[in-house]
Amino acid sequence: MARHDALTELANRVLFRERLDQRLAELERRGGSGAVLCLDLDRFKAVNDTLGHLAGDALLREIAHRLKATLRGEDIVARFGGDEFAVLLHQSDGPERAMLVAGRLIEAVQAPIILGAHEAEVGVSIGIALIPAHGDKAEVLLKRADLALYRAKDAGRNTFRFFEPAMDEEAEARRRLELDLRRALQRGEFELHYQPILDVATGTIASAEALVRWRHPSRGLVPPGAFIAAAEETGLIVPLGEWVLRAATHEARRWPEHVRVAVNVSTVQVRHGNLFPAVRAALDASGLSAERLELEITESVLMADDERASAVLHDLRSLGVRIALDDFGTGYSSLSYLRRFPFDKLKIDRSFLTEGSKAEAAAIVRAAASLGRGLGMIVTAEGVETQEQFDMAQAEGCTEVQGFLIGQPCPCGELRSRLRKSTAEPSLARQGRAHPRGR
């Protein structure tokens, strides 16, 4: 039992390793070729979540059976855990047989599966490392098949990919980035820029969004797009996010009382981090009132009906913190998210202002704005770069606008002087004109 998976009765990781080591020794003595395949089911979690654990178990057993039936007797198939499987092809004459088998495995897995009264469909992604072309050590082969698997996953469901040397380099670059990020956090190389958000009705700056940048010693100012994903994958987003919260609330304390600060919060922080205590600690340390803090989340936080995530959001809201739905319209945009959680604000993604015809942009902004307002939310148009876009956003009912026309993200000193001016300036927006870029 120590060498088999109890659920599917397939080999487990230990036995797979043993067999792989044996086969590699044989191949070294006598020559020949083989292949290691790493498999990961697509959409398994959805079946487990909707039909329950028993159905999930039955599905895994059926998949195990199908995988075995597709392979030859001398091939080894193992379950590594969860919805991960691995295959050792005893023989593979170059890539041809591996390719053929991968195609057959995909076909076998994707056929509908009857689970009691339900019918489920899952897919599988496969990464392949060839023996000896991609390595002659078990560890190397498994790692490389796994790298190829990631690539297959990226490419979409029901595909396979062979390992390529460039994948090693990318993994290496990732590792370096992770190390760099860890050090950057210790050395305090991150800084926040702030982008003003205009209240259309009053023509004054209602809030500013904190946007993190990395002041890299050799690469200069690195935008968040280059490191947030890596920080999320490695979990570093949790300490980084805590720092952002502390710095942003501290800074906002120096702004006029009516100006709020918006902080972006990653799904990882909401699901696995200690967001609630981190927010409370930042508010306590800075002395900023909770009503002046706005957290921007994306709808991915509410996907899969995550109980814990929505509990965290409700807790934050009962503190007085506002919650905004960022980048609205770019994800699944299921309207059920809007019912599942009472957002204070809807931010319409900037792609809607820039892509498609003007009439299309206006129609989408109008629909989103009336939806948001109907549910009692503030509606912000993101990415307003021209006066024409500003006029459209205003005409279609947006209550706030954000974008380069109002102001670029800027260092805290610049924003502070802008805020001092904003309270003194007469309102231009009331007459239908945006504020000039105050410098």
Would strands 322-328 and 293-297 be described as parallel, antiparallel, or unpaired?
A: parallel
Note whether 149 and 126 are within 8 A (CB): yes
Interhelix angle 275-286/237-252, rounded to 10 degrees, is 30
Please select the residue that binds Mg ion; options are 40, 299, 327, 396, rule is CB under 5 A.
327
- Residue 251 found at the interface with Mg ion (CB under 5 A): no
Binding mask 114-153 for Mg ion (x = CB under 5 A): ----------------------------------------
CA neighbor of 108 nearest in space, from 70, 157, 64, 156: 70
Cβ of residue 354: shortest distance to Mg ion, in angstroms?
13
Exactly one of 383, 401, 412, 419 binds ligand C2E (CB under 6 A); that residue is 383
Q: How many residues line the site for ligand C2E (CB under 6 A)?
A: 23
Establish if 195 lies at the interface with Mg ion (CB under 5 A).
no
The contact pattern for ligand C2E, residues 296-315, with x = CB under 6 A and - = no contact, is x-------------------
Cα 78 to its chain centre, rounded Å, is 30
Q: What's the CA gap between 24 and 34, in Å, rounded?
A: 9
Tell me how far CA of residue 192 lies from CA of 184, 278, 339, in angstroms. 14, 18, 32
Lookup: tokens for 240: 């980084």
- The binder of 385, among ligand C2E, Mg ion, none, by C-beta within 5 to 8 A per type, is ligand C2E
Quick note: the x/- pattern for ligand C2E over 180-219, rule CB under 6 A, is ---------------x---------------xx-------
Q: Within positions 278 to 297, which residues make up the interface with ligand C2E, using CB under 6 A?
A: 296
Contact partner at residue 34 from Mg ion, ligand C2E, none, CB < 5 to 8 Å by partner kind? none
Question: How far, in whole angstroms, is CA 369 from its chain's centroid?
Answer: 25
Give residues with Cβ within 8 angstroms of 241, minimum separation 6: 265, 266, 269, 273, 275, 278
Rounded to the nearest 10°, the torsion over CA 178, 194, 273, 339 is: -130
Candidates 5, 326, 396, 400: give the one binding Mg ion (CB under 5 A): 326
Q: Which of residues 122-181 bind ligand C2E (CB under 6 A)?
A: none
| Residue 353 vs residues 55, 357, 364, 428: alpha-carbon distances, Å | 45, 9, 9, 22
Rg (the chain; Cα; Å): 27
CA distance 205 to 402: 10
Asked whether position 264 contacts Mg ion by CB under 5 A, the answer is yes
3-state SS assignment for residue 232: helix
Minimum distance from CB of 221 to ligand C2E (Å)? Answer: 11
Q: For residues 54-113, which are near Mg ion according to CB under 5 A? A: none
**CA–CA separation, 58 vs 411, rounded Å?**
56
From the list ligand C2E, Mg ion, none, pick the one residue 225 interacts with, judged by a Cβ distance below 5 to 8 Å according to partner type.
ligand C2E
Q: How far is the CB of 372 from ligand C2E (least distance, A)?
A: 16
Q: Give the shortest CB-209-to-ligand C2E separation in angstroms.
A: 6
SS3 30: helix
In the numeric block, the tokens 């086969």 are attached to 23
Q: Is 329 in the site for ligand C2E (CB under 6 A)?
A: no
Q: Which range, of 13-21, 114-122, 167-175, 397-405, touches ligand C2E by CB under 6 A?
A: 397-405
Q: Please, which residue, 123 or 224, has the CB nearer to ligand C2E?
A: 224
Closest distance of CB 418 from ligand C2E, Å:
15
**Which is it for strands 260-264 and 220-222: parallel, antiparallel or unpaired?**
unpaired
DSSP, res 300 = G
52, 62, 47, 88: which is closest to 9 by C-alpha? 62
The residues in 216-235 that bind ligand C2E, with binding defined as CB under 6 A, are 223-225, 228
Kindly state the DSSP code that residue 211 receives in the 8-state scheme. E
Provide the minimum distance between the beta carbon of 405 and ligand C2E in the complex, in angstroms, as a whole number.
7
Query: Using the rule CB under 6 A, is 326 a contact of ligand C2E?
Result: yes
If contact means CB under 5 to 8 A according to the sort of partner, which of ligand C2E, Mg ion, none does residue 195 touch?
A: ligand C2E
- Pick out residues in 284-323 that bind Mg ion (CB under 5 A): 296
Binding site for ligand C2E (CB under 6 A): 195, 211-212, 223-225, 228, 241, 244, 264-266, 296, 326-327, 350, 383-385, 402-404, 409
